Amino acid sequence: MNLLFITPYLPSESSGHAGAQLIYRNIIALSKIHNLTVVSFEDRNENMVIDKLNTNSIDVYTVPYPRNQKSLAGKINSLFINFSAFLSFLKGNEPFFIAKYENKNMRDLLSNLIMKNNFDLIQVEYNVMHHYADLFKNIPSIIVFHDISTKLFERGKDLGRKLDHCSYQISKKVEIKIANKFDAVVTLTDQDRSYLIDLGYSKKIYVIPPQVKNVDFPPVDKVPNTICFIGSFYRETNIQAVEKLIDEIFLNISVPVELNIAGKGMPKKLKKKINDLNGINYHGFVSDIDGFISKQMLMVAPIELGAGLKMKIPHSLINGTPVITSPVGAEGITIDHKKGLWVCKNNSEMVNKINSLLPNSEKLIERGKEGKSAVNELFSAKVISQKFEKLYSIVTK
């Protein structure tokens, strides 16, 4: 089949964004069977990413969209570009994060491509790209909800975030309308599926979890007494988790411990705080993230915000590193403590679990091996590709 993928993030295995990695793995697997075209927004310096996709016989078309501008000129430019999205938010039409992806250049590009090509199916990644659904009303279409925005904003609201309260009220009104634009809806977890149903979506929802890349390298010597956290710190979810990890968990651990944190975009204030504390190391962006994770004894992820499946959890397990996380962090992952995933309801539970597990290196190494096997069974390329193939046959028949 001729498939068109529409995504806000350019698919890449080396991206600091978990969603971009997820999409990359799926399209690489699917490109072995189908003809693929990808249309995406493009951040600065992503030409090599496009070349990598092209070498896999995937056609790529992009619209420039600079993100995370730090310079004054860049911030002013972002304000100008996103002004209409901000107005849409103030009017109560859409949450700002969704509204900002409505883009005339993207619309023109898609309109031209759809008119000139005979696509058998169109797959839209993320709800933020729903704005272009009117361009392909007569072509079978799927939307993948990588997370549920209403759920994300509800959790932020419950933690006292005022802006999330406004976004929650708006998102509650629009998210089902977004889902209804497409012939099929996919969520990454059963929990997100149930949440969409509770919001009022009445049609069948397909649950297809993310594909996790198998890591195949010789056994690595783990560093005793180490715990870690990884993530992009352009995302508030990860900033909040690290603050909790430092202030409420790390400082209360009673056994010898070293905390290693990796990921780009750490705010200066938080970086300074880390530098002033003994036993915590911030490594910034780590190109060999698999090697980094595999050396740690434990991943600790006290996640309270967000929705969808938290890729850092199976990513850690596939590298043989067990995980301690929250109920939010464990959503969609049917792995238990026997296979290296401990779910703790509060900070004190996490501290106690770290204190009991960290001195027992042999147990952690063994549970890490079990976790790696479990992730391969649930999230392999073969398993996930088969789920999409089955869905494609249903939608296009």
Structure tokens at 219: 């056994």
Q: Are both 177 and 247 inside the same structural domain?
A: no
Mean pLDDT across the stretch 310-335?
Answer: 94
Residue 64 has pLDDT above 70, yes or no: yes
> What per-residue confidence (pLDDT) applies to 153?
92
Q: b/e per residue, 329-350, with b = 16+ CB within 10 A?
A: bbbbbebebebbbbbbeebeeb
Residue 216 has pLDDT above 90, yes or no: no
In sequence order, what are the residues at sequence separation of 6 or more whose Cβ sits closer than 8 angstroms to the Cβ of residue 380?
Answer: 211, 212, 214
217 assigned to some structural domain: no
Q: Are both 244 and 333 inside the same structural domain?
A: yes
> What per-residue confidence (pLDDT) applies to 73?
60
**Average pLDDT, rounded, for the chain:** 92
Mean pLDDT across the stretch 60-64?
Answer: 94
- Which 3 state secondary structure label does DSSP give 281? strand
Mean pLDDT across the stretch 86-105?
Answer: 91
Q: Are both 206 and 317 inside the same structural domain?
A: no
Longest dimension (CA), the chain: 64
> What per-residue confidence (pLDDT) applies to 309?
86
219 assigned to some structural domain: no
Q: Are both 257 and 189 inside the same structural domain?
A: no
Contact criterion met (CB below 8 Å) for 185 and 126: no
Q: Are both 22 and 58 inside the same structural domain?
A: yes
**384 phi and psi, to 5 degrees?**
-70, -40
- Please count the structural domains in the chain: 2
Q: Are both 151 and 233 inside the same structural domain?
A: no
Position 275: which residue type? N
Residue 74 has pLDDT above 60, yes or no: no
Domain range for 57 is 2-211+380-396
Structure tokens at 262: 């990796």
Q: Are both 202 and 261 inside the same structural domain?
A: no
89 or 306: whose pLDDT is higher? 89
CATH number at residue 99: 3.40.50.2000
Neighbour-count burial of 387, counting CB atoms closer than 10 A to its CB (0-12 exposed, 13-18 middle, 19+ buried): middle
216 assigned to some structural domain: no
> What per-residue confidence (pLDDT) applies to 244?
94
Q: Are both 278 and 197 inside the same structural domain?
A: no
CA 322 to CA 299: how far, in whole Å? 6
238 assigned to some structural domain: yes
354 assigned to some structural domain: yes
Q: Are both 387 and 375 inside the same structural domain?
A: no
Q: Are both 191 and 231 inside the same structural domain?
A: no
221 assigned to some structural domain: no
In sequence order, what are the residues at sequence separation of 6 or more whose Cβ sits closer than 8 angstroms to the Cβ of residue 98?
Answer: 127, 128, 130, 149, 171, 174
Q: pLDDT by residue (tens digit) across 254-266?
A: 999 999 999 988 9
220 assigned to some structural domain: no
218 assigned to some structural domain: no
User: Residue 48: pLDDT band by 50, 70, 90 thresholds?
Assistant: confident
User: Residue 80: pLDDT band by 50, 70, 90 thresholds?
Assistant: low
Q: Are both 258 and 325 inside the same structural domain?
A: yes
Contact criterion met (CB below 8 Å) for 252 and 351: yes
Q: pLDDT by residue (tens digit) across 284-297?
A: 999 899 999 999 99
Contact criterion met (CB below 8 Å) for 120 and 2: yes
In sequence order, what are the residues at sequence separation of 6 or more whose Cβ sits closer than 8 angstroms to the Cβ of residue 276?
Answer: none
* 202-206, 231-235, 277-281, 388-392, range with the lowest pLDDT: 231-235
> What per-residue confidence (pLDDT) applies to 30?
95
Q: pLDDT by residue (tens digit) across 260-285?
A: 999 988 999 999 999 999 999 999 99
Q: Are both 240 and 351 inside the same structural domain?
A: yes
